[in-house]
Amino acid sequence: MKFKLLFFSLIFLFSFNSKAADPEFYQLRVTTKKWEVTERSSFFEGRVSREILQRLDSIYEKSPSTYDFIYDPSSQSLKVFVHCTFDVYTLRENQLIEDYKFNNRGYTCGSYFFKRNNSFQILGARGFWNYHADLLKFDSLKGSWDFIQTKQQPLDYYQLGAYQNSKGIVTFLGEYNNPRIPRLENEANGFFLDLEKKSWQPIQLDIEEFDLAEIVKTNQSHLYETQDYALSVTTSQLPNLGWYLWILIEKETGKLYFYEGSRDTDIFWSSYYEVIGNNIRFFDYHLDSGTEGKEVTIDLDSIRDNSREIGQIKLIDAREKTETASLFPLALWIGFPAVLLLGFWMGRQLQNKKKEEDLTQLDPEKEGEDLEEESGEILQRLLTHDGEKLNTEEFDTALGIHQITNFDSKRIKRSRLIKALNKQYEEKKGFPLITRIKNPEDKRFVFYKITFENGD
């Protein structure tokens, strides 16, 4: 009897492990024609062939787009959604079957395409005139999209990225845009859409080490979803964070992790990215490098094991915000004198701060006057480097700005000096004095070449 129990226990254990090992998440994004730079014969383990992609390219040749593929192993359904259209196709036996039966166009560029409860849906998009967070569900019988009404929907909002967990959809950071009002502003956190209640709720990115929203606002960023995680990749100019900032999100717990390992892969420029399970595959290709490129795989399970926890995505109770808003008039009347004094004090502080900023802010006109006075001295220093390629530190020393401690101030000062010196030199000599040359060993960095005499 004991041997029988042990035997069945082992069978159950192995069957459970085998099932867990099988990937349940398949996602593929490719761009018209650009995927051809690779030598991949197929994607999704042979389920999406080059012939299928070439067929899509021929359909959308006049209006190149992005294709999102989703494969569901449980139902073995394979769908593709074409961005900036309402077009949906089924892939079956290497055939492309058109599911959408109408000719409507709409604001669906950048929509989040996902499957939920055996139906395919899209959430949010950007268009020429505005952004929106509309939820649309595809009706396979009618061959059309149905609008799904939701409560507390944020207006004019489009997410930077989104991912799905067991409760609903988390939209990550993003922007508000509506030129009719006008409105153009950043969203510092994001929102959660409860798909069961059809209701939106604000979220908070609770990170103490740095302000992720502020970094994303001034840099390129994207969110990549896998089976168990979402990976936020952002370019960064902060030395302590690295050239690329990788934040890993556990989809179910909302825990945030900072990965400090090797992050020098240019996933942004890839002509495709394919997700199977928790692995992201993309083509690392630099147009200006002259190399053929290579396929790179990121294993997010491994990334998670080598990351440290830095924060949490938290839901903000909308009822608490409503109660706070309802108590505000009462507090305003009771504490009116205190509020008035506080406002006066804050106004004085802001005024003093603005004066300080005005004193320290770079003034282009004043800088132009200073340049005319200092140009002779700067040119003498640069003349000693005629024909040389200087790195950034050497070049800053030659310009005399190496003592500026603030990274952004130094970068702005350097850029304005180069522009002014080149303009001055082109007027006299007919060619620029300073040219930027990318470092062939590391494309993230540049050299500055000084040329006093045109060699052409």
Structurally, the chain folds into a number of domains equal to: 3
Q: Which one-letter amino acid corresponds to residue 427?
A: E
Contact 34, 54 (CB under 8 A): no
User: Which are the contacts of 31, defined by CB distance < 8 A and separation ≥ 6?
Assistant: 64, 65, 66, 67, 271, 272
Nearest by Cα to 226 from 23, 48, 17, 20? 23
pLDDT for 4 equals 45
> Could you read off the pLDDT of 244-257 as tens digits, one per residue?
899 999 999 999 99
358 pLDDT higher than 70:
no
User: Rounded distance, CA 24 to CA 280, Å?
Assistant: 14
Q: Which residues pair with 436 in a beta bridge?
A: 448
How is residue 35 written in tokens? 């995927």
> Is 7 contained in some domain?
no
> Could you read off the pLDDT of 62-82 as tens digits, one per residue?
888 899 999 999 999 999 999
> Is 414 contained in some domain?
yes
Contact 133, 119 (CB under 8 A): no
Q: How many CB atoms lie within 10 A of CB 348?
A: 10
> Is 360 contained in some domain?
no
Indicate whether 216 and 331 sit together in one domain.
no
Q: Which domain holds residue 397?
A: 366-450
Indicate whether 298 and 413 sit together in one domain.
no
CATH of the domain at 71: 2.120.10
β strands within 195-321, DSSP E: 199-207, 221-225, 229-235, 244-250, 255-259, 272-276, 279-284, 294-299, 307-315
| Mean pLDDT across the chain | 82
Rg of the chain over Cα atoms, rounded to whole angstroms, equals 27
Indicate whether 331 and 434 sit together in one domain.
no
pLDDT band at 8 (very low <50, low <70, confident <90, very high): very low
Q: For the whole model, what pTM was predicted? A: 0.66
* Exposed/middle/buried for residue 163 (C-beta within 10 Å: 0-12, 13-18, 19+): buried
Contact 301, 284 (CB under 8 A): no
